[in-house]
Structure 1
Amino acid sequence: MTRYIKGFPQSEADEDLKFVNVDELEERAKEVMPEGAYYYVASGSEYEWTWRNNTNAYNHYQIVPRSLTGMDNPSTETEFMGMKLKTPIMISPIACHGISHADAEVATQKGAALAGAMFSSSTYGNKPVEEIAAAAPDAPRMFQLYLSKNWDFNQMVFDAIKAAGYKAILLTVDALVSGYREANLRTDFAFPVPLDFFTRFQGAKGEGQTVAQMYASSAQNIGPDDIKRIKEMSGLPVIVKGINCAEDVEVALTAGADGVYVTNHGGREIDGAPATIDVLPEVVKAVNGRVPVIFDGGVRRGSHIFKALALGADLVGIGRPYLYGLALGGPHGVASVINELNDELKIDMQLTGCKTIEDVKHARLTHFEYAGDTRPSSTDPRVRKPYPVTAVNQIKKDGTDAVSGASHH
């Protein structure tokens, strides 16, 4: 089933998905998502070198199998900041889930709860945080904050998420401006579904925000003092999202951060930045057990999750795969993605004698380097394949489509 909002098609699916690995969903999602929306999700910045190498770099680390361990039935249950989870997999925050499904973040939260995973939602989400929380009242959740220049807006957000039972704030510090995302430029992408916090703060002016408007309203100057101010105003722990080196660990923790989040925004900001798995060991060493560490970037396999945990992460986030699952299967599609990755993780745990997630954190890895690649972006006309036209992935011409304004290009 498909619903339309001002001509934009939104999936209403809710079903378990059958697939062999999560990579298969990327191509299948094209059948139900409009081209601009799909490429907003499925692309990085510039040449997309960092986007690709976030996944490729897991090959730098190899899992050492263990034999004769006398162990079976490994458990992926874990705990994060007092929240009990069935898996160390986290739903990383991404804006505008409404481009994948009519129920947007509500559906994603339901899927995360079905799989027992941590959920996080974005400042630029479509659904009210109150509706998200009501969809799974007892499920653990955190909130990703794009700090606004307007502190009245920030206070509105803080009050809403605290009342809705969010347990921590993920303060984004690595996306103060948008990276040069060629896919957005080539498809003239603008958010076709209203972003709730903009709408409740600005009324009708908050509908149909563009990428440019979104970033223009956020703070481009964030410093250590902001961490303290956010903690005081919100009354919630603050985890700094976008840490990639030891120096920034010390700045964040000295300022009072309650955790660090290793990410490069899925390769959507600086192209040419190192893969997150390659900077994780440096960050973990600098943290030295003082606070929890969240990690994401290019996760497509249970073995990727295993390696990140073995290198010191406490939670491992997934991004694009769950949005494809959301588009194709709604809440159960999201759960299908999490469960597949969790099942793969269990296989690696069994074959290394790791009974628990704590055991995985002490598993042995080996390491070697290799050369990366430099290729055109996936939306470059030289390599771009024709986008499929289906009955449900087209914007209706009789609707009022979102006005583009993603950039001056």
Structure 2
Amino acid sequence: MNICNREGGRCAAMALVCLTDFEQYAKEHLSKATWDYYAAGADECCTRDDNLLAYKRIRLRPRVLRDVSVSDTRTTVQGAEIGFPVGVAPTAFHCLAWHEGEVATARATEALNTCYISSTYSTCSVEEIVAAAPGGYRWFQLYVYRDRELSEQMVRRVEALGYRALVLTVDVPFTGKRRDDIRNRFRLPPHLKLKNFEGLPQAAAEDYGIPSNTLDPSISWKDIHWLQSITQLPIIIKGILTKEDAELAVEHGVQGIIVSNHGGRQLDGGPATIDALTEIVDAVQGRMEVYLDGGIRTGSDVLKALALGAKCVFIGRPAVWGLAYKGEDGLREVLQILHDEFRLSMALSGCRNVAEINRNLIQCSKL
């Protein structure tokens, strides 16, 4: 892994050994508007930043003399086995980072045998994603639109293509205020398209090049019943941050929760996702799987999230950094680093497999 940085005709090589290295590479090589779009948080970015800082406040209680000569990072999500408990979260516009966009993402996640949640707002279509990685394990991120027929058409498409679950994103009744995007007047460049909307009627573009006035701010729990009536796919709700909403999710019979604050891009001042995780896990009491995104940067972060009850975690921005570095190969390197760091953290904590990770690994002050 090398960065080539030409200054005065000289090329300096530097190994990329952690996710922060990929972040720095992306910041130096993406356009300012693109970097600001990916990096943006809402308002003063307090929640975005706390997603990372919260992990640094958590301390582990490692066990020793446990024979960790052999370790197994495999786990299951919604009954499917994956190679390790780190997937790729739904993020928009991957072609901004790499010309192959979500096609490269799909190939990388297939190669690492993990879960990819493809975004509604992809710059490659769901059909292109499946064709590129036919053996991949995929979920689809769904929004509920004012035009319910549009949402239903998307559900039918991904069902037919073999997607394995729907991830209903519920924390965007309106788009959060992202100051740098406003300053940059960010829009999707004209050479890129929202491929999942091709051939469908669209209003004039407004937010980020996304068709305006399509998302329905009146969405409520009753829409869960509507969605269940049109699909047999598992429904996972993304964007829950409180035990009260977790209990409602259980009551409405969904199959999973992703504890998420949209990368700090929606409501500033909300909790870091790792801080919200424990009350949600306690409320659910094992009646559905609980996942998490936001702030994962190291293998020990993954270990901490699993110890506090997450079944799997998902990365957003780091996946884009990997694409910006070297497309499919860059994202594979990001995922491999997290895999190797997670396995090392497991071993150093005395865990031989994912089933041995539990709250006893976390100092009680954080529970």
Flag whether TM exceeds 0.5 (same fold).
yes
- Correspondence for 2:255 among 239, 254, 258: 258
Say whether the 8 Å CA contact 2:205–2:211 is kept in structure 1: no
Paired residue secondary structure (1:200): coil
Write the letter of the residue equivalent to 2:140. Answer: F
Residues 1:275 and 1:307: Cα distance change in structure 2 (over 3 Å): same
**Which residue is 2:84 aligned to?**
87
Unpaired stretches in structure 2, ≥5 consecutive residues: 1-13
Paired residue secondary structure (1:25): helix
Paired residue secondary structure (1:271): coil
**Which residue is 1:194 aligned to?**
193
Say whether the 8 Å CA contact 1:168–1:236 is kept in structure 2: yes
| 1:294 and 2:291 aligned | yes
| 1:246 and 2:215 aligned | no
**Which residue is 2:339 aligned to?**
342
Write the letter of the residue equivalent to 1:88. Answer: P
- Correspondence for 2:355 among 355, 358, 364: 358
User: 2 CA distance for matches of 1:135 and 1:225?
Assistant: 36
Q: Displacement, 1:66?
A: 1.1
Residues 1:169 and 1:124: Cα distance change in structure 2 (over 3 Å): same
Alignment of 1:5-44 (within 5 A): 18-44=15-41
Residues 1:109 and 1:212: Cα distance change in structure 2 (over 3 Å): closer
User: 2 CA distance for matches of 1:18 and 1:223?
Assistant: 48
Paired residue secondary structure (1:126): coil
User: 1 CA distance for matches of 2:24 and 2:230?
Assistant: 43
Paired residue secondary structure (1:201): coil
Say whether the 8 Å CA contact 1:78–1:87 is kept in structure 2: yes
- Correspondence for 2:43 among 20, 41, 46: 46
- 1:253-305 residue CA offsets vs partner (Å, 9 max, x unmatched): 21221111100000001111111100100000001000011101111111111
Q: Displacement, 1:73?
A: 2.4
User: 1 CA distance for matches of 2:305 and 2:120?
Assistant: 26
Percent identical: 36
User: 2 CA distance for matches of 1:233 and 1:191?
Assistant: 32
User: 2 CA distance for matches of 1:295 and 1:215?
Assistant: 29
Paired residue secondary structure (1:316): strand
Write the letter of the residue equivalent to 2:40. Answer: S
Alignment of 1:368-383 (within 5 A): 368=365
Residues 1:260 and 1:46: Cα distance change in structure 2 (over 3 Å): same
Say whether the 8 Å CA contact 2:188–2:209 is kept in structure 1: no
Report which stretch shifted further, 144-153 or 206-215.
Answer: 206-215
Say whether the 8 Å CA contact 2:166–2:235 is kept in structure 1: yes
Alignment of 1:6-405 (within 5 A): 18-192=15-189, 193-202=192-201, 205=202, 210-211=207-208, 213-214=210-211, 216-361=213-358, 363-368=360-365
Write the letter of the residue equivalent to 2:228. Answer: K
- 1:113-137 residue CA offsets vs partner (Å, 9 max, x unmatched): 1112110111111111111112111
Q: Displacement, 1:176?
A: 1.4
User: 2 CA distance for matches of 1:219 and 1:283?
Assistant: 26
- 1:351-378 residue CA offsets vs partner (Å, 9 max, x unmatched): 1111111112355201547xxxxxxxxx
- 1:226-258 residue CA offsets vs partner (Å, 9 max, x unmatched): 112112213211111111111001212212211
User: 2 CA distance for matches of 1:187 and 1:141?
Assistant: 33
Say whether the 8 Å CA contact 1:191–1:208 is kept in structure 2: no
Paired residue secondary structure (1:178): coil
User: 2 CA distance for matches of 1:259 and 1:214?
Assistant: 29
User: 1 CA distance for matches of 2:241 and 2:212?
Assistant: 21
Cα-Cα RMSD: 1.7
Say whether the 8 Å CA contact 1:281–1:311 is kept in structure 2: yes
Q: Displacement, 1:327?
A: 1.3
Say whether the 8 Å CA contact 2:206–2:212 is kept in structure 1: no
User: 1 CA distance for matches of 2:161 and 2:81?
Assistant: 18
Q: Displacement, 1:212?
A: 7.1
TM (norm. structure 1) is 0.82
Paired residue secondary structure (1:217): coil
User: 2 CA distance for matches of 1:199 and 1:347?
Assistant: 45
User: 2 CA distance for matches of 1:215 and 1:209?
Assistant: 5
Say whether the 8 Å CA contact 2:204–2:211 is kept in structure 1: no
Unpaired stretches in structure 1, ≥5 consecutive residues: 1-16, 370-409
- 1:16-58 residue CA offsets vs partner (Å, 9 max, x unmatched): x941210122221134322111111012111111111101001
- 1:140-185 residue CA offsets vs partner (Å, 9 max, x unmatched): 1101111111112112101111111111111011121111101111
User: 1 CA distance for matches of 2:220 and 2:99?
Assistant: 37
User: 1 CA distance for matches of 2:154 and 2:178?
Assistant: 27
Say whether the 8 Å CA contact 1:115–1:339 is kept in structure 2: yes
